Amino acid sequence: MIATNNLQSLPGNKTLQSACKAMAVLDAILCQDWVYRYYSYNSQWSEGEEFFEMRNGEGDQLLALFRDEGAVINGYFSEAEQGEKDKLTDQLPEVFHEFIFGEPVNSAGTTFCIWQLNSTPWATGIPAAHDDHSEELLSPLDGEPATYVKWASDYFKGSYKESGIPLETVARIFAQEPLTKEMVLSIVDNLEDWDLLTEDLIEISYPYHINL
């Protein structure tokens, strides 16, 4: 399991970035209403910066920023006691300060913060004395298609084909294969709004070959 005291299993920032895009694409297929999605990705967040968000509707959030030189992840678990942010972010590289100390992170809150810069190992600040619940929030980011399938099969129950969410298709999306109509229809019986999906794919910056 991945947690702030066990970050070795967390993929490198480039692999993680691809996995985050894949999860956002899959969520966009399984739930076209953005409000009810779990994962979302904005490749146009800022010049040279891309943004990933996890929100579960119960107040817990992951907010991640990806840059060419690395990534930073802010975690907030609503039932965890918040530590002192200056300690949780001790030795945070300056390149991530604007994101971590600005919005929306500042309003969301911080129970843990991790980062990776220039291919160095993932790092964190001074750990909180209490359980930061980072395992619950970080373990889904192991980059494994099967992990997503297991989670989404429960979270999006009733939104996919009766045969289940196909691991093969999910693996192809995690591998960044261009999305096709055939791939989409292997997951859901029909899609209400193909134009909306293409808009989502453009925002995520994910390749696709969908002929409408």
Q: What is the pLDDT of residue 22?
A: 98
Q: What is the pLDDT of residue 212?
A: 65
CB 160 within 8 A of CB 149: no
Give the integer Cα–Cα distance in Å for 76 and 78: 6
Q: For the chain, which residues make up each domain, given as ranges?
A: 13-209
Mean pLDDT by 10 residues, the chain (212 residues): 94 97 98 92 96 91 97 93 89 97 94 95 90 93 97 95 97 98 97 96 96 72
Give the integer Cα–Cα distance in Å for 26 and 201: 10
Q: What's the pTM value of the predicted model, to 2 decimals?
A: 0.95
**Secondary element (H or E) of residue 76:** strand 70-76
Burial of 12 (0-12, 13-18, 19+ CB in 10 A): middle
CB 70 within 8 A of CB 11: no
The two structure tokens encoding residue 165: 């969410």
Burial of 8 (0-12, 13-18, 19+ CB in 10 A): exposed
- Quickly count: other Cβ atoms within 10 Å of residue 97's Cβ: 12
Q: Which of 22, 16, 57 is nearest to 40 (CA)?
A: 22
Q: Which of 185, 69, 58 is nearest to 197 (CA)?
A: 185
- What are the backbone angles phi and psi of residue 135, rounded to the nearest 5°? -60, -40
Angle at CA of residue 157, ends 156 and 161, nearest 5°? 100
The two structure tokens encoding residue 140: 């889904």
Q: What is the pLDDT of residue 114?
A: 98
The phi-psi region of residue 158 (left if phi > 0; otherwise alpha if psi is between -120 and 50; otherwise beta) is left
Q: What is the pLDDT of residue 79?
A: 85
Q: What is the pLDDT of residue 127?
A: 83
pLDDT tens-digit readout, 38-86: 999 999 999 999 999 999 888 899 999 999 999 999 999 988 877 789 9
Q: What is the pLDDT of residue 116?
A: 98
